[in-house]
Structure 1
Amino acid sequence: MSEEQEPWQWPEEIWRGKVNRVRAGDTLKPAAWPGGARCAVALSFDVDHDSNELRDGGTSIGALSRGQYGNRQGIPRIMKVLRDHDVKASFYVPAVIAMLYPDEARMFVAEGNEVGIHGWIHERNSVLPPADERDLQMRSCDTLEKITGARPVGIRTPSWDFSDSTLEITRDMGLVYDSSLMADVDCHKLLLDGEDTGVVELPVEWIRDDAVYFNMNRFSALRPYTPPEAVFDIFMREFNAAYDEGGIFQLTMHPHVIGYRSRIWILDEVIRHAKTKGDVWFATHAEIVDWVKQNA
């Protein structure tokens, strides 16, 4: 019935049901972070590479080459910064990308970083039939485990998209956490139709994502409009507030976006600035979720 009505015609049980399908539950904010740290820093990279073009059936050689840049130049630059500062991060890798670049995916895990689920081919999971979404999410997990030797415990959905089935699938798979939603800045429980799923959310936000400031599409009006200095300022203000609140500074980046010579300094300076505080814990998303589950 609701699909045939305008939203303003929906009876209360319809709009309440849509709102309450997936909802943020109790906040999981610990009194302290490991070692007495005041703030947790969760750096993450969505390793999309060629999948941004492939997911919609695109075969543009130019677009695919930009994706390949993420592997050839973006990841080496990112890894140098992480190694220089001796910090770990979480890498969310579509299964197709792990198959295209298996040595890269194995390297993430071998160096102590986390690899999480990021779809099969960066598909738009919210438009898939539920059975297809379930199959792809499960196959993605199995593929990442086969390639890296480590079974993922968390998921970041492609494009941070959610269907009515996504959380149910994540729960049924026994995954520990999701990092795709934006209801909070602190970790929290995820509710499905009002019931605790046991899945923890580590929230993201578009303002803490490099792609919204730097992406472009030559066939549309989408053009970069924010200079790197302004992006750095936004990220720093987000970190400073997280530090003042004793919370989490979560940041999402993309190798084919942040991994350019005029931008990679942002990552380097973010880490340097955070380290000047002296009491900051750099950790993978999985490590942070494990801590809050035990200490919040």
Structure 2
Amino acid sequence: MTASEERDQATQRHPWQWEEAEWRGVVERVRAGRSLKPDVWPQGARAAVALSFDTDHETIPLRDGQTGPGKLSQGEYGARVGSPRVLALLERRSIPATFFMPAVCALMRPQEAREYSLRGHEIGIHGWIHERNMELDPKSERDLAFRCADTLERVSGQRPVGIRTPSWDFSDHTLDISRELGLLYDSSLMADDDPYEILADGEPTGIVELPPEWIRDDDIYFEMDRYSPLRPHGMPRQVVGGIWRDEFDVAYEEGGLFQLTMHPHVIGHRSRITVLEELLAHIEGHEGIWYATHAEIARYVKDQAKRSTESSS
């Protein structure tokens, strides 16, 4: 019986009925391998800082079939106001960033996608229309992933080398698709604070994981839905100047990676972009900071791991 057949069989019964081989197979399907945290960052930097922005814009309501102007206008804010504010902040401080962009957003506003590339930022895959890939059959998930990569390359002039799956969902087929695409890294899994190599059924894949975390995501603190219990439960300075600042301080102390996931329609509001700039001022008050795109970090840690392996053999 193949590993896939064992997983299918296991899902047809209660977990307490699973044989050890079944639950082990489920757990080991996609796993964290060796740590890729380097001994030293470029130019002797103490810590690496990776800022990322998921430019979802209108795709969240569109994905759910919500066509009312109200919800769409919240997404439009991200493109109309949030992204320009983010770009201006990054330019003022000469910081490179990674923009994970649904292909529909790139098609809707091709100049925005090109602008990211022209300003030296990275563009990564973030679904076609922010679809829920856990609900897709393998063929549909694969087709959309390849269409995303091709569309982003055509529109922005930059071939994506990394992916952040919409909502960080990871199906049984996501890793296989990323490997077929020849991607350098993923940024959807959360098994560490620092970079690591992804394993597939216990075997190294060569794909670097740059782990995000919900506590380092602006959406969980600031999002609001008037027709559900979802309400903002964090003041900007409590989150950015408190939780995120503490996350950076420990990352700096440990000599690791500080990664943030933000959204222009969330972080781009006046009160939030202000405290984000205050956080960046705090970071820049430390010696030895390497600001880099996700791709730059993935390439560096992978190269360092290769050098370390060769020197020890």
Shorter-chain TM-score tier: over 0.9
Q: CA deviation at 1:189?
A: 0.6
Q: CA deviation at 1:229?
A: 1.1
Decide which of 6, 23, 29 is 2:31's aligned counterpart: 23
Per-residue CA deviation, residues 212-243 of structure 1 (Å, 9 max, x unaligned), is: 00011111011011111110210000000000
SS in structure 1 of the partner of residue 271 of structure 2: coil
Q: Identify which range, 82-91 or 258-267, moves more after superposition.
A: 258-267
Q: Who is 1:46 aligned against?
A: 54
Q: Who is 1:173 aligned against?
A: 181
Question: TM-score normalized by structure 2?
Answer: 0.93
Matches within 5 A, 1:211-290: 211-232=219-240, 233-290=242-299
Q: CA deviation at 1:196?
A: 1.1
CA distance in 2 between counterparts of 1:268 and 1:247 reads: 21
Counterpart of 1:11, as a letter, is E
Counterpart of 1:283, as a letter, is A
Q: CA deviation at 1:116?
A: 0.2
Say how many residue pairs are matched: 296
SS in structure 2 of the partner of residue 262 of structure 1: helix
Q: Does 1:114 align with 2:132?
A: no
Q: CA deviation at 1:197?
A: 1.1
Query: What percent identity do the matched residue pairs reach?
Result: 58
Cα-Cα RMSD: 0.7
Per-residue CA deviation, residues 104-158 of structure 1 (Å, 9 max, x unaligned), is: 0000000000000000000001110001000000100000000011100000000
Q: CA deviation at 1:164?
A: 0.3
Counterpart of 2:157, as a letter, is G
Asked if the contact 2:46–2:287 (Cα under 8 Å) also holds between the matched residues in 1, the reply is no
Asked if the contact 1:179–1:201 (Cα under 8 Å) also holds between the matched residues in 2, the reply is yes
Counterpart of 1:6, as a letter, is H
Q: Does 1:127 align with 2:135?
A: yes
Q: CA deviation at 1:267?
A: 1.9
Decide which of 168, 179, 202 is 1:194's aligned counterpart: 202
Matches within 5 A, 1:62-141: 62-141=70-149
Q: Mark the runs of 5 or more structure 1 residues left unpaired by the alignment.
A: none
Asked if the contact 2:46–2:256 (Cα under 8 Å) also holds between the matched residues in 1, the reply is yes
Q: Identify which range, 68-77 or 1-10, moves more after superposition.
A: 1-10
Counterpart of 2:273, as a letter, is I
CA distance in 1 between counterparts of 2:10 and 2:37 reads: 37
SS in structure 2 of the partner of residue 198 of structure 1: strand
SS in structure 1 of the partner of residue 233 of structure 2: coil
Per-residue CA deviation, residues 40-99 of structure 1 (Å, 9 max, x unaligned), is: 000000000000001121112100000000001000111111011011100000000000
SS in structure 2 of the partner of residue 263 of structure 1: helix
Decide which of 22, 25, 32 is 2:40's aligned counterpart: 32
Q: Who is 2:22 aligned against?
A: 14
Q: CA deviation at 1:278?
A: 2.2
SS in structure 1 of the partner of residue 170 of structure 2: coil
Asked if the contact 1:28–1:188 (Cα under 8 Å) also holds between the matched residues in 2, the reply is yes
Counterpart of 1:217, as a letter, is D
Asked if the contact 1:81–1:267 (Cα under 8 Å) also holds between the matched residues in 2, the reply is no
Counterpart of 1:58, as a letter, is Q
Counterpart of 1:207, as a letter, is I
Asked if the contact 2:49–2:290 (Cα under 8 Å) also holds between the matched residues in 1, the reply is yes
CA distance in 2 between counterparts of 1:261 and 1:169 reads: 39
Matches within 5 A, 1:138-177: 138-177=146-185
Counterpart of 1:274, as a letter, is I
CA distance in 1 between counterparts of 2:261 and 2:83 reads: 14
Question: TM-score normalized by structure 1?
Answer: 0.99
Counterpart of 1:272, as a letter, is A
CA distance in 1 between counterparts of 2:51 and 2:136 reads: 29
